[in-house]
Amino acid sequence: MKLPIYLDYAATTPVDTRVAEKMMQFLTMDGEFGNPASRSHRFGWQAEEAVEIARSQIAELINADPREIVFTSGATESNNLAIKGAADFYHKKGKHLITVKTEHKATLDTMRQLEREGYEVTYMEPQTDGLVTVAMLEAAIRPDTSVISVMFVNNEIGVVQDIAAIGEMCRSKGIIFHVDAAQAAGKVEIDLQTLKVDLMSFSAHKAYGPKGIGALFVRRKPRIRLEAQMHGGGHERGMRSGTLPTHQIVGMGEAFRIAKLEMQAEISRITVLRDRLLNGVKDLEQVFLNGNREQRVPHITNISFNYVEGESLIMALKDIAVSSGSACTSASLEPSYVLRALGMSDELAHSSIRFSIGRFTTEEQVDHTIKIVHQAIDKLRAMSPLWDMFKDGVDLNTVAWVAH
């Protein structure tokens, strides 16, 4: 077995070989390198045709109209364009927006920027299982609420929000509903003919496509308007100027085509692997699965190993590429804001690891991971004063810590 083992598919996925091969046909002199906006020769026409095929492939995965797809540089840009673009365009309706504390930074920091520009934002605390209910959101709505943004699948804990129900509520109240679906495409069924979502963000590199390309779904019926955030040649019907990167777009199209084709089989296979992983660690004491147990994708599993610090655990899992709920590796000593928003204690949040499984994960890799996790937990708990105290029946909340 080749080491290290990649279990960080939620951070990014490798490009599927089929996608890479397709992309290479759109780069060189021998390929279709033209500018899709060139109207005067066949180089341009061919590139444009390739872009339009990709646009249809993306629309097909999510049951949308190809004309509702706007290409961007990725989900971060899509979130920026959707939230700022809608807030700006509809500012006369009101200057209040609602989102959730567990959203991706691309949403939260966009909201922060709008606050600096005079908007007001409500950041909802989710339930301890990571979900927000329609009733919770409804209670936060004001007469001047213009946009609500809720992510489909959480990138750290994998819980799936009830987008259908939230969409119904938003539509009935005339509020623009934006959904960050970066982690959802190819992992859950997305049917935009039935979901009452106005704007939805996508990324290619979370679904075996290339980095640097994403899309924003902008609904046509009822029509949603956006204030452009990037100005220039008026590409993408004026919503996002900039020469379309044909090879990237073709890559995203191919990735989404494959996703539509193989999604069901892949979900079943990954569920089996996820269950294998969970079964493999369930005999360890003080191990907790974070987030709602049912409403979740099988790809992302976030586990707290109590009394073991996340960064040292990652170090012990050195041949396994996972990520820590704890942001200890950055200058900040703060544990994951997502886990904190679920009401988890700091120490449990510090002890969390995200395992994300994907297309190329094997049973053998999962078994090896289970073995290494056991070794690491045994070693680190033998070294942990907190584990000793727990074993001695000391309630850590009653200890007077010498904080630093």
Partner 1 sequence: MAYSNKVIDHYENPRNVGSFDKDDASVATGMVGAPACGDVMKLQIKVSPDGIIEDAKFKTYGCGSAIASSSLVTEWVKGKSLDEAQQIKNTDIAQELALPPVKIHCSILAEDAIKAAIADYKQKHGG
Q: How many residues bind partner 1 (CB under 8 A)?
A: 30
Q: Residue 84 is encoded by which pair of tokens?
A: 């700022």
350 is a site residue for partner 1 (CB under 8 A):
yes
Beta bridge partners of 89: none
Q: Is 396 in the site for partner 1 (CB under 8 A)?
A: yes
Smallest gap, in angstroms, from Cβ of residue 156 to partner 1? 17
Residue 237 or 318: which CB sits closer to partner 1?
A: 318
Give me the phi and psi of 142, to 5 degrees please: -120, 170
325 contacts partner 1 (rule: CB under 8 A): no
* Out of 41, 383, 391, 394, the residue judged to bind partner 1 by CB under 8 A: 383
CA separation for the pair 195, 37 (Å, rounded): 32
Determine if 404 is a binding residue for partner 1 (CB under 8 A).
yes
Per the CB < 8 A criterion, the answer to whether 328 and 376 are in contact is no
The C-alpha atoms of residue 99 and residue 81 are separated, in whole angstroms, by 16
311 binds partner 1 (CB under 8 A): yes
Q: Where are the alpha helices (DSSP H) in 62-98?
A: 75-89
Among 53, 278, 370, 386, binds partner 1 (CB under 8 A): 386
Q: Let me know if 170 is a catalytic residue.
A: no
**Which residue lies nearer to partner 1 by CB, 40 or 397?**
397
**27 contributes a contact to partner 1 by CB under 8 A:** no
330 binds partner 1 (CB under 8 A): yes
Judge contact between 107 and 276, C-beta under 8 A. no
Residue from the set 38, 211, 345, 370 that interacts with partner 1 by CB under 8 A: 345
Which one among 307, 356, 358, 366 touches partner 1, defined by CB under 8 A?
A: 307
Closest contact distance (angstroms) between CB of 282 and partner 1 is: 23
Which range in 148-156, 219-227, 295-303, 343-351 contacts partner 1 by CB under 8 A? 343-351
**What are the backbone dihedrals phi and psi of residue 147, each rounded to the nearest 5 degrees, phi first?**
-135, 140
Window contacting partner 1 (CB under 8 A); options: 212-220, 243-251, 370-378, 394-402 = 394-402
Are 203 and 182 contacting, i.e. CB atoms less than 8 angstroms apart?
A: yes
Beta strands in 278-371 (DSSP E): 287-289, 300-305, 320-321, 323-324, 352-356
Give yes or no for a contact between 367 and 374, defined as CB atoms under 8 angstroms apart: no
Residue of 118, 143, 222, 385 interacting with partner 1 (CB under 8 A) = 385
Distance CA 127, CA 132 (A): 6
Least distance between partner 1 and beta carbon 403 (Å): 4
Task: Say if CB 51 and CB 32 are below 8 A apart.
Answer: no
Least distance between partner 1 and beta carbon 211 (Å): 22
Contact flag: residue 403 with partner 1 (CB under 8 A) = yes
Q: Count of CB atoms within 10 A of residue 33's CB? A: 15
Q: Does 375 bind partner 1 (CB under 8 A)?
A: no
Q: Is 305 in the site for partner 1 (CB under 8 A)?
A: no
- Judged by CB under 8 A, which stretch of 59-67, 88-96, 339-347, 363-371 contacts partner 1? 339-347
Q: Which of 92, 293, 331, 393 is in the footprint of partner 1 by CB under 8 A?
A: 331
Beta-sheet pairing, 176-180 with 199-203: parallel
Paired with 356 in beta bridges are 8, 300
Q: Does 384 bind partner 1 (CB under 8 A)?
A: yes
Closest approach, Cβ 288 to partner 1, in A, equals 15
* Residue 232, Cβ density class (10 Å: 0-12 exposed, 13-18 middle, ≥19 buried): exposed
Asked whether position 335 contacts partner 1 by CB under 8 A, the answer is: yes
- DSSP sequence for 234-257: -TGGGTS-S---HHHHHHHHHHHH
Q: Is 326 a binder of partner 1 (CB under 8 A)? A: yes
Quick check: bond before 4 cis, omega within 30?
yes
Burial of 222 from C-beta contacts in 10 A (0-12 / 13-18 / 19+)? exposed
Asked if 261 touches partner 1 (CB under 8 A), the answer is no
Task: Say which of 137, 328, 344, 353 is annotated catalytic.
Answer: 328
Q: Which is nearer to partner 1, 164 or 383 (CB)?
A: 383
Q: Which residue has the tokens 């008026």?
A: 234
Report, in angstroms and rounded to the nearest whole number, the Rg of the chain calculated over CA atoms: 22
Query: Which positions lie near partner 1, rule CB under 8 A?
Result: 307-312, 315, 326, 328-331, 333, 335, 345-347, 350, 382-388, 396, 401-404
Q: Which residues are catalytic?
A: 328
